[in-house]
Structure 1
Amino acid sequence: MIVKRIVANIASPNPEQTIAFYRDLLGLDLVMDLGWIATLAGPAPNATQINIASEGGSGAAVPDLSIEVDDVDAIYARATAMGLKVYYPLTDEPWGIRRFFVTDPAGKLINISAHMG
């Protein structure tokens, strides 16, 4: 047996607003919309992963989602331009990632990161 994909499912009282958040902040495309469920995707396939954590690292809360991007500084600039509240500041972590946290319109804590170097 091979696990081919793990997809985070986010319950949202306002799906349109949550779709817009991920589309506008991360540049994801709406690839499926059945009315009751929508799927957003990026252009490149990624490895299947799941994180199990007792804390979020450096004393941060465990985020609901961790999203790796190629340019975290650009996404951080976009987040601040959108007026999003940053819950964990843009930080270079000792384990080699640069990251920040925001929440989506459904209240999910999102860790947006990039590997350094």
Structure 2
Amino acid sequence: MAVKRIVSNFAVDDIAKVRAFYEDVLGLDCVMDHGWIATFAAESQNVMPQVSFATEGGSGTPVPDLSIEVDDLEDMLARVKEAGIGIEYGPAVEPWGVKRFYVRDPAGRLLNILCHG
């Protein structure tokens, strides 16, 4: 038996607002939409399922609801700013080797947007 994937499920009041953010700002694809649930994904990249548990978010920050790794942090930061979304932390280069910033999605979830190296 092997875990094939892990999917986070968050309750929201307005899927359309969330869809616009995750598709237009983050560039994810809506891979399933039943009206009451929508699932967003990036192209398959042979990644391992992961789940993290934390007492803090590092550098004294709150624990984010999701960590989203991107290949170009500067581009993502520009997209977030262009969309008028406030940055809650960072951008910062952390002692453990990641560059990151925090934002909130339209449902209020705290997102840790990061890039290694």
Between 1:86-95 and 1:39-48, the stretch displaced more is 39-48
| CA-based RMSD | 0.8
Give TM-score, length-normalised by structure 2. Answer: 0.95
Name the CA distance, whole Å, in 2 between partners of 1:16 and 1:47. Answer: 29
Name the CA distance, whole Å, in 2 between partners of 1:47 and 1:23. Answer: 23
Name 1:47's counterpart in structure 2.
Answer: 48
Name the CA distance, whole Å, in 2 between partners of 1:77 and 1:115. Answer: 18
Runs of 4 or more above 6 Å deviation: none
What does 1:1-117 align with in structure 2 at a 5 Å threshold? 1-45=1-45, 46-116=47-117
**Structure 1, unpaired ranges of 5+:** none
Amino acid at match of 2:60: G
Name the CA distance, whole Å, in 1 between partners of 2:83 and 2:48. Answer: 29
How many residues get paired?
Answer: 116
Amino acid at match of 1:83: G
- What is the CA deviation profile of residues 8-36 of structure 1, one whole-angstrom value per residue up to 9, with x for unaligned ones? 11211111100110111211111111111
Query: Identity of counterpart residues, as a percentage?
Result: 53
**Structure 2, unpaired ranges of 5+:** none
